[in-house]
A and B are shown apart, each in its own frame.
Chain A
Amino acid sequence: MSDQPVPAEAAPSRNLVQFVLRLREAGVVVFLVLLGLTFGLLNDRFLSVQNLTIVASSAAILAIAACAQGVVLITRNLDVSVGSMMGLVAYLTADWTANHPGISPAEVVAIAVVLGIGLGAINGLLVAYGKVPALIGTLGTMSLYRGLTYIYAHGQEVSSSRLPHWMLESADIRIAGCPIYVIIAIIIVMAVAWFLYAYPLGRRIYAVGSNGVAAWFFGLRAERVVMFAYVLCGFLCGIAGLLYAARVGTVNVVLASGWEMSSLAAAVIGGVSVSGGSGTVIGAALGAVVLAAIDNGLVLLRVPEFWRMFIQGAAIVAAVAVDALIAEAIRRSTAGRRR
């Protein structure tokens, strides 16, 4: 059999798609560097070690939440209950800890993680098995979880004075000068990224999001994969909620509200496609760093709050627009028939 010449017309579009797919995370890094340089030029404090540590710390928890959101997005679904899950887990765990003096750190972590998995599983059952559209289903649980927090809290907050010292001080621990939360976030994101990259179930998460019809024809059980993604998301939100509670000390009922939007923004800015199948959780975490850097830079430049919101919103819209263009290019190149 002789080699077939590649059809000439197909070549440019295919190269473009390949190029853009690879470019995405690199693009985020380049953007981050440019952003840093710009802020650095405008304000000499921005690039100080001290300030960069602040940026990293404030990005750490968001990076975990963005990673949670990213896993779900890759399956071509969405979880808008991320903030509510974090809030409910944070409140219940803090309350339990406050009422059980002498509880060990391992027990506290276990409670948060189990709660997170449970809440994620409810989302998973709704979306994967109940066939409720992801947006509607998790919009429902978003209110539900937040409502439960209010009901349980009865208008009370868990004050920092009732929490154990080790919990409150954990946020200040540094290893070789690096805040422990940053290290935890890096370890978690790398672990999830490695799992998605190197394990069969991880690859199936991408496969289901990439082409649901193909998954069905192939015989993949998409429900199980989507279920798993939501459970993983809940698990990560449990950890993020606990870390948040420990950092702020006083846990109230509105903790992490609005984080569904920030986590989504971070993931999309980091190159995770809302149309599924592409992007990485490392990208999502980098997206969280971008958001934190923008926020920090604008504060240093004394830009008023409403402008910060506006600029954050513009960044999200731009990222989604780029994502839509790329998704369209991919759809065209795999439309099946040549037209």
Chain B
Amino acid sequence: MSAIESGQPIREPIMALKGIGKSFGPVKALEDVGFDVYPGCVHGLVGENGAGKSTLVKIITGLEQADEGEVILAGKSVAFRTPIEARSHGVAAVYQDPKLFPHLSVAENIAMGAYPAGWLGGLDRRRMIETARHHLARLGSDLDPRRTVAGLSVAEHQFVEIARALSADVRVLILDEPTSALTPTEAERLFAVMRALRDRGTAVIFITHRLEEIEALSDTITVLRDRRHVATLPRAEVDRAKLVQLMVGRPLETLFTRRDRPSFGAEVLRVEHLSLEGVFADVSFSVRAGEIVGMGGLVGAGRTEIAQTLFGITPPTSGDFYLKGEKVAPNSPRQMLGKGLAYLPEDRDRDGLIMPETITHNITLPILKTLSRWAVIDRAGERRVAAKASETYNVRTPSVEAIVSSLSGGNRQKVAFAKWLATEPVALILDEPTHGIDIGSKAQVHAMVSQLADRGLAVVLISSDLPELIAMSDRILVIAEGALVAEFAHDEATQEKVMLAAARQSGRRRG
């Protein structure tokens, strides 16, 4: 491939995706995604969290196999079975957090999979180091290839990964959120490399949440939404507003149960200047009884970390936290449960529930002490509590003795609710409560959250699902890069406003 004018796509696409579809069990991960990628072009790929970008990358590089559709590389249909195969055809990906082998040297990491052969079929180390140095130099890096990878900075990791891709003579380079862990200077340097590669005729697929970066670098932009392809447009035809609209403008899929007349009581939860060094800083807000405060933002913005700090999992480095007017210093979940705060983690299967146990045992776990007499658990009482809770939260199950892992996602979420609410909290933090559950159960979860608020609980709702966030919340806080950047009342919030606030680039990395 000869050098071509930058930004001038030539006719033939180097890679064409046609009708790519993928399901994981009953869940659709991608449906009918198709677009063309041209050599010498930076192809921006955007979409909300869970729009299907990562799955698409995995399919292109052979980590996952598509159920439908085909990938056409330089005119030929290909279906890579492993990333090694993809790399040998010139298709490579660099991930958000680099995936290298820390105990091996930089040169070995770069050469892995395509070692230069020497004496008796062994490695030609000298050639391996020379090649590594050469590829690093192309990226403007003078990293010593003999160095062990352990101890390199994130940016250096990324350069090693890109050098690895270059060593395989890359024709299509995929960068999945490469800047999320870089400082602005490091990111600038990466962009320079991207431009240089593009000018040399490489096709670059660039995935990022930062719309500024998309605008600055892409020649073509593809938008995915809800696992489907929405549009592929030349850079000149889109502006930020249009991008945001394409990303969020989904049809309203469900009717959200919205409380008629929210009536708020006294302040239950108040956070002042809360910080966790290097993660989030100076976050202040309050929630009243009966109020649902939504927390929006991108994945990795620090919302879960704030919730976990309030719940005592990672104690804050500074700031104050008041529950019902009483100052508390969160330092363990057990202590916070005792104070009346409950937290439903995002990954309920991993963090929230004990999968191989029964519904009863899961629900009563946090309250075993109150259910016990003389340190012996009252089994009948335990079952009564579980049965009542299952009924209240509408868990569909033949028996409370059913094993949790046999339930559907929605029902598991209800069990998780029942479990934490059995502690009778005054405030509740929900982290992505409807993530990964079907639409019917979603509506039920929404109804449940509304009911809880009506009963006087203070609710913090973390959600990346914008329509849900806007419909459910009485107020919306937007977190970006570890800081509270915007607050909207229910009436003034729109998906576009929240998205814009969340995607702002502060230009200064936290920490």
Contact = CB atoms under 8 A, between A and B. Distances in A.
B370 interface: no
A21 B103 contact: yes
Interface in A211-252: 211, 213-221
A199 B121 contact: yes
A334 interface: yes
A339 B125 CA distance: 35
Interface string A1-14: 10110110010011
A221 to B, nearest CB: 8
B113 A18 contact: no
Nearest to B147: A18
Interface string B67-106: 0000000000000001111110000000101111111100
Judged by DSSP, the binding face of B is loop
Contact of A200 (B83, B86, B123, B189): B123
B101 A333 contact: no
Contacts, number: 124
Contact of A18 (B101, B151, B278): B151
Interface stretch (A99-107, A174-182, A202-210): A202-210
Contacts of B277: 339
A4 B189 contact: yes
A14 B102 CA distance: 12
Contacts of B103: 21, 206, 209-210, 277-278, 330
Judged by DSSP, the binding face of A is helix
A271 to B, nearest CB: 12
B154 interface: yes
A336 interface: yes
A217 B84 contact: no
A214 B100 contact: yes
A17 interface: yes
A339 B482 CA distance: 12
Contact of B151 (A4, A13, A204, A215): A13
Interface string A71-95: 0000000000000000000000000
B491 interface: no
A195 to B, nearest CB: 9
B186 A218 contact: no
A219 B153 CA distance: 24
Contact of B99 (A203, A217, A333, A339): A217
B27 to A, nearest CB: 21
A334 B149 contact: yes
A277 B100 CA distance: 12
A49 interface: no
Contacts of A13: 151
B140 interface: yes
A10 B150 CA distance: 11
B153 A203 contact: no
Contacts of A336: 97-98, 154, 181
B266 interface: no
B322 interface: no
A198 interface: yes
B278 A277 contact: no
Given A200-B123, A204-B112, A339-B511, 9 more contacts: A17-B148, A18-B151, A210-B103, A211-B99, A215-B101, A219-B62, A334-B150, A338-B154, A339-B279
Closest 3 CB pairs of A and B: A14-B151, A219-B83, A1-B140
